[in-house]
């Protein structure tokens, strides 16, 4: 799209191609989220319009600014928009371009410095520099050299961080398990279902607790009401008491009207954490939780959609935990795509993540985003691994979204610079595309 934008095609054709291309690229979302078809369609159109608008800004800048400055217009405005949309959207950063790179941990380590916005910037910058070099004869070598430098610097930092010093903290044996065959218990708010679901998961946890110190179960696998709450929790608490393990279990608590994660430890009262970010429409009526889920030194808990919000988890990470436990509930086909933002949050904040999602994946990832174990809930499998708690205290936790603000400021500067310059003639080189 940028190669097209930096050429001589009519502006309306570039805009239409960028809009249509981005929109088509999102159509697979309907495979998982058809239940939210109307708001999803609106979001997709808005994102496609945003992408097309950013492409048109890059086209304009490439004609008015020197080549190197013009090539940086697109990454600056898109990374800035990535941040703004994450702040404004009820879905947080779920659509951030940075999520696409989680499968290659070596390419995402920079988020520990500047948050997810740096990865979005780098993807766009390398593409923009190469695309403009293919269109321009002026400064072509400099454009390609800068693209190679940015990619190489990010790759080098990733390799250094992945092969850095040994873990600061001793590994902890953890397990995450979700079984979709038990999902029927999550749809009826009665005592029999709650007790049966808790007993079934307690049986799984008892086996896993023979080797795992922490067992994470999925989000909302049963309803709780005040009149049978204690009886439903009894099987899980018994496992914690008998084995010494910590269990994290997700419930729909009708008494407090919260989506709740309970941390059950040996011979103490359960710690309750309430989800803070709800799915629009599907979770209307729930009360948002008051704050972070830190329940012990170096240990914290969050729930599913909370992990889509970098600012929320960055604020939590200031509590200096190294291991985050996450009950979750996905939409079957989005298992890996929705696991990725949670893994990325761990790299941003310097902590390992143990996530258990019914209708999705159970994953264990370390503070560098390496997936140590994964299992599918459709088969009731467990992800079991020894993971070292992360050191926390990353630069991103300390400085926040400074890089995103620099991108927004850079966009403004480039726009003002372009307005003050006369449109320069575009020097086209022969293209091999």
Chunked into runs of 10 residues, the chain (433 residues) has average pLDDT values of: 96 97 94 88 94 98 95 98 95 95 98 98 98 92 97 98 81 97 79 94 97 97 94 97 98 95 97 96 93 96 98 96 97 94 98 97 98 95 97 96 98 96 52 42
Is 74 a member of any domain? yes
Q: How far is CA 43 from CA 28, 116, 408, in A?
A: 14, 20, 22
Is 126 a member of any domain? yes
CATH of the domain at 386: 3.60.110.10
Specify whether 238 is located in the same domain as 160. Answer: no
Determine the Cα–Cα distance for residues 394 and 314; give it in Å rounded to an integer: 10
Is 366 a member of any domain? yes
Is 426 a member of any domain? no
Specify whether 106 is located in the same domain as 213. Answer: no
- Evaluate whether 273 touches 263 at the Cβ level (below 8 Å): yes
Determine the Cα–Cα distance for residues 175 and 95; give it in Å rounded to an integer: 28
Residue 21's nearest CA partner among 61, 58, 49, 56 is 49
Is 428 a member of any domain? no
Phi and psi at 90, nearest 5°, equal: -70, -5
Alpha-helix residue ranges (DSSP H) falling in 187-309: 191-208, 229-243
Specify whether 155 is located in the same domain as 85. Answer: yes
Number of domain units in the chain: 2
* String of DSSP letters for 290-323: -S----BTTEEE--GGGGG-HHHHHHHHTT--SE
Q: Is 210 exposed, middle or buried (0-12, 13-18, 19+ CB in 10 A)?
A: exposed
Is 183 a member of any domain? yes
Token pair of 285 as six digits: 């009526």
Is 121 a member of any domain? yes
Specify whether 116 is located in the same domain as 232. Answer: no
Residue 238: which domain range? 172-390
Phi and psi at 211, nearest 5°, equal: -125, -15
Q: Tell me which H or E stretch contains 75.
A: helix 73-88
Specify whether 152 is located in the same domain as 13. Answer: yes
Specify whether 45 is located in the same domain as 155. Answer: yes
Check residue 432 and give its pLDDT.
Answer: 41
Specify whether 81 is located in the same domain as 180. Answer: no
Specify whether 415 is located in the same domain as 377. Answer: no
Specify whether 176 is located in the same domain as 159. Answer: no
Q: How far is CA 381 from CA 17, 233, 250, 374, 384, in A?
A: 43, 23, 18, 9, 10
Specify whether 308 is located in the same domain as 351. Answer: yes
**pTM value surpassing 0.85:** yes
Check residue 422 and give its pLDDT.
Answer: 66
Specify whether 201 is located in the same domain as 157. Answer: no
Is 294 a member of any domain? yes
Specify whether 49 is located in the same domain as 142. Answer: yes
- Evaluate whether 237 touches 271 at the Cβ level (below 8 Å): no
């Amino acid at each position: 799209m940028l190669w097209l934008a930096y050429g001589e095609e009519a502006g309306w054709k570039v805009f239409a191609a960028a809009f249509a291309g981005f929109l088509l690229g999102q159509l697979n979302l309907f495979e998982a989220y058809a239940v939210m078809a109307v708001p999803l369609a609106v979001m997709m159109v808005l994102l496609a319009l945003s992408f097309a608008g950013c492409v048109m800004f890059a086209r304009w800048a490439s004609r008015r600014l020197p080549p190197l400055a013009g090539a940086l217009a697109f990454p600056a405005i898109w990374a800035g928009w990535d941040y703004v949309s994450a702040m404004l959207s009820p879905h947080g950063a779920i659509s951030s371009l940075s999520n696409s790179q989680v499968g290659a941990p070596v390419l995402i380590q920079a988020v520990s410095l500047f948050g997810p916005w740096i990865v979005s910037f780098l993807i766009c910058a390398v593409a923009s520099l190469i695309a403009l070099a293919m269109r321009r004869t002026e400064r072509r070598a400099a454009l390609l050299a800068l693209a190679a430098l940015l990619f190489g610097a990010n790759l080098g930092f990733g390799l250094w961080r992945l092969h850095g010093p040994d873990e600061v903290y001793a590994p902890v044996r953890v397990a995450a398990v979700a079984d979709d065959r038990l999902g029927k218990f999550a749809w009826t708010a009665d005592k029999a279902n709650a007790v049966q679901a808790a007993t079934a998961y307690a049986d799984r946890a008892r086996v896993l607790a023979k080797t795992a110190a922490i067992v994470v179960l999925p989000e909302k696998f049963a309803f709780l009401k005040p009149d049978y709450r204690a009886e439903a929790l009894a099987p899980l608490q018994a496992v914690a008491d008998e084995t010494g393990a910590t269990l994290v279990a997700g419930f729909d608590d009708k008494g407090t009207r919260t989506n709740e994660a309970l941390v059950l430890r040996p011979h103490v009262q359960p710690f309750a954490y309430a989800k803070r970010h709800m799915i629009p429409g599907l979770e209307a009526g729930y009360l948002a939780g008051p704050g972070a889920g830190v329940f012990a030194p170096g240990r914290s808990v969050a729930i599913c959609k909370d992990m889509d919000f970098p600012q929320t988890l960055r604020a939590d990470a200031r509590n200096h935990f190294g291991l985050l436990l996450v009950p979750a509930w996905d939409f079957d086909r989005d298992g890996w795509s929705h696991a990725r933002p949670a893994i990325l949050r761990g790299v941003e904040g310097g902590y390992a993540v143990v996530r258990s999602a019914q209708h999705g994946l159970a994953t264990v990832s370390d503070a560098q985003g390496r997936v140590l174990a994964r299992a599918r809930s459709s088969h009731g499998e467990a992800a079991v691994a020894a993971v070292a708690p992360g050191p926390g205290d990353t630069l991103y936790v300390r400085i926040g979204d400074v890089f995103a603000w620099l991108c927004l400021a850079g966009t403004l500067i480039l726009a003002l610079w372009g307005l003050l310059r006369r449109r320069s003639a575009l020097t086209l080189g022969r293209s091999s595309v």
